Amino acid sequence: MKNVTRSTLPDRIVFESESFKNLRNAPSGLFLQVWKSDMGGFTGEFSEISYLPQIEMGSVVVCR
Protein backbone atom coordinates (compact mmCIF):
# COMPACT_ATOMS: atom_id res chain seq x y z
CA MET A 1 0.00 0.00 0.00
CA LYS A 2 1.34 3.42 -0.91
CA ASN A 3 0.26 6.98 -1.53
CA VAL A 4 -0.58 8.02 -5.06
CA THR A 5 1.37 10.61 -7.01
CA ARG A 6 0.36 14.26 -7.09
CA SER A 7 -1.24 13.70 -10.49
CA THR A 8 -4.22 12.20 -8.65
CA LEU A 9 -6.31 13.40 -5.73
CA PRO A 10 -4.18 13.61 -2.54
CA ASP A 11 -6.68 11.68 -0.39
CA ARG A 12 -6.55 8.50 -2.44
CA ILE A 13 -4.57 5.33 -1.83
CA VAL A 14 -3.30 2.93 -4.49
CA PHE A 15 -3.43 -0.82 -3.93
CA GLU A 16 -1.37 -3.15 -6.11
CA SER A 17 -3.31 -6.09 -7.54
CA GLU A 18 -1.33 -8.47 -5.31
CA SER A 19 -2.96 -6.80 -2.31
CA PHE A 20 -6.56 -7.42 -3.39
CA LYS A 21 -6.90 -10.19 -0.80
CA ASN A 22 -6.10 -7.64 1.91
CA LEU A 23 -9.12 -5.53 0.96
CA ARG A 24 -11.76 -8.16 1.73
CA ASN A 25 -12.22 -6.82 5.26
CA ALA A 26 -12.71 -3.24 4.10
CA PRO A 27 -16.06 -1.48 4.76
CA SER A 28 -18.82 -2.80 2.51
CA GLY A 29 -19.69 0.75 1.46
CA LEU A 30 -16.22 1.39 0.07
CA PHE A 31 -16.08 1.89 -3.67
CA LEU A 32 -13.02 1.57 -5.86
CA GLN A 33 -11.87 2.96 -9.15
CA VAL A 34 -10.08 0.54 -11.44
CA TRP A 35 -7.07 1.72 -13.36
CA LYS A 36 -5.09 -0.19 -15.96
CA SER A 37 -1.47 0.10 -14.94
CA ASP A 38 -0.20 -0.51 -18.47
CA MET A 39 -2.27 2.36 -19.87
CA GLY A 40 -2.10 4.66 -16.86
CA GLY A 41 -5.69 5.78 -17.29
CA PHE A 42 -8.99 5.55 -15.47
CA THR A 43 -11.40 3.00 -16.95
CA GLY A 44 -14.40 5.05 -15.86
CA GLU A 45 -15.92 2.15 -13.92
CA PHE A 46 -16.56 1.68 -10.21
CA SER A 47 -16.42 -1.69 -8.48
CA GLU A 48 -17.52 -2.82 -5.04
CA ILE A 49 -15.20 -4.71 -2.71
CA SER A 50 -17.05 -7.96 -3.44
CA TYR A 51 -16.18 -7.63 -7.12
CA LEU A 52 -12.43 -7.21 -6.62
CA PRO A 53 -11.46 -10.90 -6.90
CA GLN A 54 -12.68 -10.82 -10.51
CA ILE A 55 -10.41 -7.94 -11.52
CA GLU A 56 -7.53 -9.24 -13.60
CA MET A 57 -3.96 -8.98 -12.35
CA GLY A 58 -1.98 -5.96 -13.52
CA SER A 59 -4.73 -3.53 -12.63
CA VAL A 60 -4.37 -0.85 -9.99
CA VAL A 61 -7.21 -0.04 -7.61
CA VAL A 62 -7.71 3.47 -6.28
CA CYS A 63 -9.61 3.92 -3.04
CA ARG A 64 -12.15 6.75 -3.03
Q: Which residue has the higher pLDDT, 6 or 15?
A: 15
> pLDDT class for 35, splitting at 50, 70, 90?
very low
CA distance 7 to 18: 23
The CA-based angle 26-52-61, given to 5 degrees, is: 80
**What's the pLDDT score for residue 22?**
52
CA distance 8 to 25: 25
pTM (2 d.p.): 0.17
